[in-house]
């Protein structure tokens, strides 16, 4: 398939995001994936099974919301159904990041949500909920993740798997994924010492409003 110049900058951003996922230890090897919604309603998504430092931007796949590959020589991520389900169900989402970050994945294996023991949880919502287990790449996983991502939630745990984070753009989604891992680590460490004090819903509501104003500046 020929290179599509209109997707060039977004493809480059997806490759850069994959490299940063490795650098920030949000995943290992070829694990995890990233995508962004295009202006024409399609999805640029990282390819399946290719090391991030070996992905030519011109070959990054572009798919329709139905999952049909319309550009790029590499096969799209096996988690494409999860990404496209989120875009179809959340019109406010412009980017999706899936990671295997260790602390958050620990809570995913416990099937325990990450509560508001850190004020930064407000970037994700009142907590980071857990989507029920389903096989990777399955429609069941896609539907479960979308159910967990309510309109007021920007991240969820995938049971026994990892993290799904969303945002208006790639940088927003990536920052949310980083913050989920940070909050997971803080809660893990606090729980090892004692009983973490969890912020109230009212306190988190105030933080959510403040963060929204901060990001809009």
Q: What is the pLDDT of residues 6-16, one digit of tens each?
A: 899 999 999 99
Domain ranges for the chain, please list them: 5-216
Helix, strand, or coil (residue 191): helix
Q: What is the pLDDT of residues 62-107, one digit of tens each?
A: 999 999 999 999 999 999 999 999 999 999 999 999 999 999 999 9
- In angstroms, the CA 142 to CA 137 distance is 8
Residue with tokens 């999952």: 67
- In angstroms, the CA 145 to CA 193 distance is 31
Residue 172 has pLDDT above 60, yes or no: yes
Handedness of CA 182, 140, 65, 216 (dihedral sign): negative
Which of the following is catalytic: 54, 59, 79, 213? 79
Q: What percent of the chain has pLDDT over 70?
A: 97
Residue 211 has pLDDT above 90, yes or no: no
Element (H, E) at 23: helix 8-23
Q: What is the DSSP string of 69-124?
A: EEE-SSPBPTTHHHHHHHHHH-TT--EEEEE--HHHHHHHHHT--B-SSSGGGGGT
Q: What is the pLDDT of residues 116-162, one digit of tens each?
A: 999 999 999 999 999 999 999 999 999 999 999 988 899 999 999 99
Q: Per-residue confidence at 217, pLDDT binned at 50, 70, 90?
A: low
Residue 3, pLDDT score: 54
How many other β-carbons are positioned within 10 Å of the β-carbon of residue 33?
26
- pTM exceeds cut of 0.85: yes
Q: Per-residue confidence at 2, pLDDT binned at 50, 70, 90?
A: very low
User: Is 79 among the catalytic positions?
Assistant: yes
- Name the CATH superfamily housing domain 5-216: Class II aldolase/adducin N-terminal domain (3.40.225.10)
């Amino acid at each position: 398939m020929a290179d599509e110049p209109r997707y060039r900058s977004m493809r480059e951003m997806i490759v850069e995001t994959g490299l940063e996922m490795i650098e920030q230890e949000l995943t290992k090897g070829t694990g995890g994936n990233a995508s962004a919604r295009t202006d024409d309603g399609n999805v640029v998504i990282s390819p399946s099974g290719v090391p991030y430092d070996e992905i030519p931007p011109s070959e990054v796949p572009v798919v329709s919301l139905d999952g049909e590959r319309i550009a790029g020589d590499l096969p799209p991520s096996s988690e494409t159904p999860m990404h496209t389900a989120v875009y179809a169900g959340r019109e406010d989402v412009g980017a999706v990041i899936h990671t295997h970050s260790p602390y958050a994945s620990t809570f995913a294996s416990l099937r325990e949500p990450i509560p508001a023991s850190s004020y930064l949880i407000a970037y994700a919502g009142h907590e980071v909920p857990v989507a029920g287990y389903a096989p990777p790449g399955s429609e069941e996983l896609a539907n479960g993740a979308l159910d967990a991502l309510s309109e007021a939630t920007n991240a969820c745990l995938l049971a026994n798997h990892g993290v799904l984070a969303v945002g208006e753009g790639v940088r927003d989604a990536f920052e949310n994924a980083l913050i989920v891992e940070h909050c997971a680590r803080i809660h893990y460490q606090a729980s090892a010492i004692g009983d973490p004090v969890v912020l109230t819903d009212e306190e988190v509501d105030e933080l959510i409003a403040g963060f929204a104003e901060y990001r809009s500046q």
